[in-house]
Amino acid sequence: MSTALVILAAGKGTRMQSDQPKVLHQIANAPMLVHAMRSGASLSPERTIIVAGHGYDAVKSAVADYDPDATVVLQEQQNGTAHAVNVCRDVLDGFDGDVIVLFGDTPFVTGETLEQMVAARKDNAVVVLGFEAADPGKYGRLIMQGDSLEKIVEFADTSPEERAVTFCNSGVMLVQRAQLFDLIDAVQPQNAQGEYYLTDIVGIARQRGLSVTAVACDEAETLGINSRAHLAQAEAIFQSRARTELLDLGVTLQQPDTVMLSFDTVIGRDTIVEPNIYFGPGVTVESGVRLRAFSHFEGCHIAQGSIVGPYARLRPGAELSEHTHVGNFVEIKNATIGEGSKVNHLSYVGDATIGSGTNIGAGTITCNYDGVMKHHTHIGDKVFIGSNTMLIAPVSVGNEAMTGSGSVITKDVPDAALALSRTEQINKPGLARKLFEMLKMKKKKRDGER
């Protein structure tokens, strides 16, 4: 049976105290909405529909960045969850599969849980996701009779016996499309808010003799984010899970709590990650790499056997081939470093290609920006770039060439050539002593006038 994914993301989230839509606040460098989309994507849905309201244009842009094929529909007035699903009716016209309804501010429902719901749908018209709450509080209660869900009772309407129930409603549902909209048509706004609640379809389905059940998941999967405190809690949950997954996959985290990961970080086995390392989006690290302390990575790829850091920064477009060395206080951006090459000290390499077996001396800078445009630097194989070399792009250094320390390279360097660009040194005997004496007298006179 094919599946359509509907994610409700229209709420403003006033408790976030923010001008941007709640679902665009980030966890591990991705909007919480993207986390919900990733969960739903595990089902390989035929259609993905996001219901947006507040900040519609911003939500639509974020959705397009992650999944250009997803559809964003506008819920102009937020009249409840059933109303939100109902605005998807036209988009789902002609679709004959199951519809799963998720929430953009509930980012941790797992693919395994959704698969359990799909399996349960084979024998039931409606499947609800529930959880055993440590503190049920004011959650709606799921009243079960064996495997059958008899009803959902909102906290305000619970009897003392029902209030003792700890099996609670997450709001996530799975329903066949045709039945979903037939049930929604029967929902009435019989509540103080005058809203149309999706949970009401459970009672309507039961009245029509349809089978309804609930699937249980871990309570942590149902965490809804409504405040900055919840957002911080969600970040901590994500980081803890992601670190544990890496450890289980054979990655060494020397001090796990100091390593910050992104939603899409990939690290291969037998890689060693030292303390205080930050992974921004788009980082892939192959096996057998050593990432040394206090380094920052974003949008880069590091091949196996490489050593990076400490205090290194790899920016988007940095591509490190196998067995490269990038050392302390080195920044690399939009550059490819060839196999076995080394950039070990205090250098900036941007918009460049470096061949294999090349050594970049300390203090080297590829001067790639002229104030208007970026320009490329090409450095060949087995090149030695002397310390404090300025490479004024666009420029090329041939294979097995060398630059003298302190050179400013403005012209291409042929293969095997030595490039020197320094003025001749001149020594003035005794002038240093005279200059110091003159400066001291000047300082003494200045201080005496104060």
Spatial separation of the C-alpha atoms in residues 51 and 74, rounded to whole Å: 6
Let me know: does 198 contact 99? Beta carbons within 8 Å: no
Query: 115 a known binding residue?
Result: no
Tell me the helices (H) and strands (E) count for the chain, helix number first: 9, 35
Q: Has 11 been labeled as part of a binding site?
A: yes
Q: Is 411 annotated as a binding residue?
A: no
Taking the mean position of all CA atoms in its chain, how far away is CA 210? Answer: 41
Q: How far apart are CA 330 and CA 362, in angstroms?
A: 9
Count of Cβ atoms closer than 10 Å to residue 422 Cβ: 10
Residue 22 is assigned to a ligand binding site? yes
Is 377 annotated as ligand-binding?
no
Is 333 annotated for ligand binding? yes
In the residue annotation, 345 being an active-site residue is answered as yes
Q: How far apart are CA 131 and CA 119, in angstroms?
A: 17
Which residues does 392 contact at the CB level (< 8 Å), separation at least 6? Answer: 367, 408, 409, 410
For residues 315 and 333, give the distance between their C-alpha atoms in angstroms, rounded to a whole number.
5
81 in a labelled binding site: yes
Q: Is 319 annotated among the ligand-binding residues?
A: no
Is position 130 annotated in a ligand binding site?
no
The rounded distance, in Å, linking the Cα atoms of 373 and 392 is 13
Q: Taking phi first (over 0 means left), then psi (-120 to 50 degrees means alpha), and beta for anything else, what does residue 194 get? A: left
Residue 226 marked as a ligand binder: yes
Residue 202, SS3 per DSSP: helix
Distances (CA, A) of 284 to 250, 264, 266, 363: 15, 9, 5, 27
17 is in an annotated binding site: no
140 is in an annotated binding site: yes
Dist CA 289 CA 322 (whole Å): 9
| Beta carbons of 219 and 12 less than 8 angstroms apart | no
Can you read off the two tokens belonging to residue 428? 């003035």
**Per the annotation, does 194 bind a ligand?**
no
- Three-class SS state of 1: coil
- In angstroms, the Cα distances linking 411 to 136, 178, 407, 447, 450 are 72, 70, 11, 49, 52
359 in a known ligand binding site: yes
Whether 247 and 264 have beta carbons less than 8 Å apart is answered as no
What are the DSSP E strand ranges found in 10-113? 26-27, 30-31, 47-52, 71-74, 98-103
The verdict on whether residue 9 carries a ligand-binding annotation is yes
Alpha-helical segments (H) within 22-168: 32-41, 56-66, 81-86, 111-121, 160-163
Burial class (CB in 10 A: 0-12, 13-18, 19+), 227: middle
Secondary structure (DSSP) of 261-272? --TT-EE-TT-E
Catalytic residue of the set 35, 230, 345, 378: 345
Q: Is 387 annotated as a binding residue?
A: yes
Does the annotation flag 431 for ligand binding?
Answer: no
Whether residue 389 is annotated as binding a ligand: the answer is no
368 is an annotated ligand-binding site residue: yes
Annotated binding site for Mg(2+): 105, 226
Residues annotated as catalytic are 345
Annotated binding site: 8-11, 22, 75, 80-81, 105, 140, 154, 169, 226, 315, 333, 348, 359, 362, 368-369, 387, 405, 422
Annotated binding site for acetyl-CoA: 362, 368-369, 387, 405, 422
Annotated binding site for UDP-N-acetyl-alpha-D-glucosamine: 8-11, 22, 75, 80-81, 140, 154, 169, 226, 315, 333, 348, 359
